[in-house]
Structure 1
Amino acid sequence: MGVTAVLLEYRSKRLDRAEWRCALSPLLPMRSPHNDYGLYKKKMHKFFGAIAQLPLSCPFPLDDPAKAEQFRLVIVGSDEVWNLKHPWYGGCAVFFGEGLIADHLVSYAATFGNFASQARLRGLWGDRLRRFSRISVRDLNSARLIREALAVEPELVLDPCLQFPQPLLAARGGDNARHVAIYGHGFPKWFQNVVRQWADRRACRLVSIGYRNDWADKQWIDAGPNEFACFMASAKAVVTNFFHGCVFSLVYEKPFACVISDYRINKLRDLAEIVGAQRYVISETSTFSQLDTILDHPLDPAIARRIFVLRANSASYLQHVVQ
């Protein structure tokens, strides 16, 4: 967009340990098979290498953001930066702008995740959010919280991966037309059975990418970010319970089936409603014919038209805040 930007590079040994513990054993409290640790470690190093290529600020302590550089504008977002229930990041003051030295403070596609209590936003956290000159969120739950607690109408914008799809669209994969990507973990047994039967009837191979799912035909745990994008771009369809599993499906216009978990209910449900993809969310009462309908046919073209409109609105918001 014609501006010089860097990602704020905060450091925290406490959070590094939490992130690495989860990355090496993402299925906790269920322990990962011993042989998977090396694969998860390999994936981590691929991500470290990719992150090192990004434009980063000078490092500063997460708990002392005043030591960060001074900026004309700081944009907070996206993802669960305001989730006060997050096990590691919940209540980190820097995500509410505390201590940052900036002329202007705004948010882009911020979300409260599975946090839904407006009462807790009426005190300290609400006062911190009032320091933002413009607020945008990516889901309806977050919009409601801001509206009810702060009496402010936030902008509803797209997640960055949906708003700026060009790097993802540049990814090219091989011939994976008979492969279906499984992205996520902790899928309910009924969902595993339905997807497994659908794939068997069509002689499709289920490939679990990024995590282990024993009901898949193949495990590709150590895929790095570029490998992940290329595979998602070339897969026949996507099966997921992750927000960005849905986002990548939408970018590549892939048919997908999503099952909602308690932790991700707000962001998955709201994303589907915002882009008009409710029928791609599968529940236990869904029938085999529903899965056939959504995975055997191209993504509904009305979704792409809706995303086009949302991109224009999101671009307008960003153009205004970066001026």
Structure 2
Amino acid sequence: MKIGILTFHHINNYGATLQACALWSFLNSQGYDVEIIDYRPLKIVWKYLRPLIPLKKPEKVFVNIPRAWKMRRFLLSHVKLSNKKFYDKKGLKYYHNKYDVLICGSDQIWCLDSFRGFDSAFFLDFVSNQTTRKISYAASFGNTVNLGIYQEKIYHLINQFQTILVRDSNSAKIINYECNKKVIKVLDPTFLINYDSIKTTPKITVKYLLLYIHAEIEPEEEEFIKTLANSENLTIVSVDKPNNLAQINLESASPKEWVGLYSQASYIVTNTYHGTIFSIIFQKPFNVFLRSEKQNKVTDLLKDLNLENRIFSVREKPQSLHHEIFDIDYESVSRILEFKVLESKKCLLQAISSGTVDDRSKVACNQE
């Protein structure tokens, strides 16, 4: 059986890179002939390349060429990409009969409110459900709350899928109410694999607080970070964008180095979805700074694992920090997570093998 995956795999982002790798790795471990379709919409490529081109009004977008190159090398060495590369969705018609199963996801491939807008290719419109089994795995609408002018078009496309697996309740609600399609909520694919072979131990010899932040830090958040680091004698390490709070800035870390930093951190502060996930995977004490554009998916994940108290609140003054902020009942979290991992794997494999999830699996797979 030949399987194709269509997802965000080529952007300069650790979460996107690792989710693509994780989904491919899990399916490959099950013995499937699987590859990621090397589709790079020109709109997305331009967004990431534009800051490198001299303009009268340069874009305020952080682009790190060494890191982008490391991410590319990581993908080439850890997943199988399709032989052909396309920048326009018209080229995807080449794959109309190349796969037995085609999977779209994970990540915010269906988000309508980002600069990417609506791209019907991520709803697999270039293949027929008569010849190719269409499945989504952990696909997400992100912060999109309704389909608006695209409702009729997406309704038609979604109803050509044999199985819809999404990663958050907001996406499940949209599919349920606007597409009248049964849907199952599953875990992000980064939860499905082990990272022993996908990490590099950092060379940092001191205990550190890891920052993985994609937005400006508010004054209350900055005070919290400083107080926490000082009280525990932790060096502040920032990975990704440079941060003035950090004593060590690692702007060009590879995905392996990024994972390694998570595995050895004494504390983690993030405002990202995958930053939250890897804090949980490595069972680290952490806090999340919520941002409105990430609120749906981060809150949904933390609620499912009974970890809502890891969301930072400005009402909690830094001077009142106590050692309990390091205490997370990961034994309880692990029990929940272990069940959800098994459930997610079962739903995906069942969808691949039969095209639909049988009645017993629907119950086990937490159908929404």
Matched, 1:312 2:368: no
**Structure 1 CA distance, aligned partners of 2:332 and 2:51?**
37
Q: Which runs of 5+ in 2 are unaligned?
A: 1-29, 354-368
Residues of 1 paired with 2:43 and 2:321: CA distance? Answer: 43
Cα contact 1:237–1:295 (8 A) shared by 2? no
Matched, 1:197 2:227: yes
SS at match of 1:7: strand
- Equivalent residues in 2 for 1:26-105, closer than 5 Å: 31=60, 40-53=64-77, 54-58=79-83, 59-64=85-90, 65-68=92-95, 70-88=98-116, 90-100=117-127, 103-105=132-134
RMSD of aligned C-alpha atoms?
2.5
**Amino acid corresponding to residue 121 of structure 2 in structure 1:** V
* SS in structure 1 of the partner of residue 82 of structure 2: coil
Distance 1:95 1:295, change over 3 A: same
Match of 2:298 in 1: 268
The one-letter code sitting in structure 1 at the alignment partner of 2:183 is P
Name which of structure 1's ranges 61-70 and 225-234 shifts more when overlaid on structure 2: 61-70
Q: TM-score, normalised by structure 2?
A: 0.78
Contact 1:10 1:60 (8 Å CA) reproduced: yes
Instruction: Determine what percentage of the aligned residue pairs are the same residue.
Output: 22
* Aligned counterpart for 1:2 among listed residues 31, 52, 67: 31
Alignment partner of 2:288: what SS? strand
SS at match of 1:108: strand
- 8 A contact 1:212–1:221 mirrored in 2: yes
3-state SS in 1 of match to 2:132? strand
Would the aligned equivalents of 1:146 and 1:153 in 2 still touch at CA under 8 Å?
Answer: yes
The 8 Å contact of residues 210 and 237 in structure 2, kept in 1 or not, is answered as: yes
Structure 2 counterparts to residues 183-262 of structure 1, below 5 A = 183-186=212-215, 187-262=217-292
Taking structure 1 as reference, are residues 21 and 213 closer, same or farther at Cα in structure 2, changes over 3 Å only? Answer: farther
Instruction: Provide the C-alpha distance between the structure 2 equivalents of 1:162 and 1:93, rounded to a whole number of angstroms.
Output: 27
Cα-to-partner distance string for 1:111-130 (whole Å, 9 max, x where unaligned): 00010115556311111111
Q: Distance between the aligned counterparts of 2:82 and 2:315, measured in 1?
A: 49
Q: What amino acid does structure 1 have at the position aligned with 2:332?
A: A
- Cα deviations by residue, 1:44-83 (Å, 9 ceiling, x for unpaired): 1111111222201122343212123621000100010110
Q: Which piece of structure 1 moves more, 114-123 or 309-318?
A: 114-123
* 2:304 alignment partner AA: I
Query: Does the CA-based 8 Å contact 2:191-2:281 persist in structure 1?
Result: yes
Of 148, 161, 168, 2:190 maps to 161
In structure 1, the gaps of 5 or more residues are: none
> Quick one: which amino acid aligns to residue 63 of structure 1?
K
Q: Which residue of 1 aligns with 2:201?
A: 173
- The TM-score with structure 1 as length reference comes to 0.89
Moved >4 Å (runs of 4+): 21-24, 28-32, 118-121, 174-177
Over 3 Å counting, the alpha-carbon distance change for 1:131 and 1:176 in structure 2 is farther
Alpha-carbon distance in 2 for matches of 1:302, 1:144 = 28
Contact 2:210 2:268 in 1 (8 A): yes
Which residue pairs with 1:122 in the alignment? 151
SS in structure 1 of the partner of residue 139 of structure 2: coil
Q: Which moved more, 1:262-271 or 1:13-22?
A: 13-22
1:9 alignment partner, SS class: strand
Aligned to 2:314: 284
1:298 offset after TM fit, Å?
Answer: 4.6
Single out whichever of 13-22 and 191-200 deviates more from structure 2: 13-22
Preserved CA contact (<8 Å) 1:60 1:68: no
CA separation of 1:22 and 1:115: change in aligned 2, threshold 3 A = farther
Quote the offset at 1:151 in angstroms.
2.5
Deviation at 1:168, TM superposition (A): 5.3
- The answer to which of 263-272 and 112-121 deviates more is 112-121
Distance (whole Å) between structure 2 residues aligned to residue 151 and residue 290 of structure 1:
49
Q: What is the total number of aligned residue pairs between the two structures?
A: 313
Question: What is the DSSP-based 3-state SS (H/G/I as helix, E as strand, rest coil) of the residue aligned with 1:122?
Answer: helix
Taking a change above 3 Å as real, the CA distance of residues 16 and 295 of structure 1, as seen in their structure-2 partners, is: same
| CA displacement at 1:233 relative to structure 2 | 0.6
State the secondary structure of the residue aligned to 2:101: strand
Q: CA deviation at 1:290?
A: 7.7
Q: Give, in angstroms, the shift of residue 19 of structure 1.
A: 2.5
**C-alpha deviation, 1:21, in angstroms:** 4.2
Contact 1:255 1:299 in 2 (8 A): no
- In the aligned structure 1, how far is the partner of 2:58 from the partner of 2:168? 29
* CA 1:138–1:72: 2 relative to 1, 3 Å: same
Query: What is the aligned partner in structure 2 of residue 112 from structure 1?
Result: 141
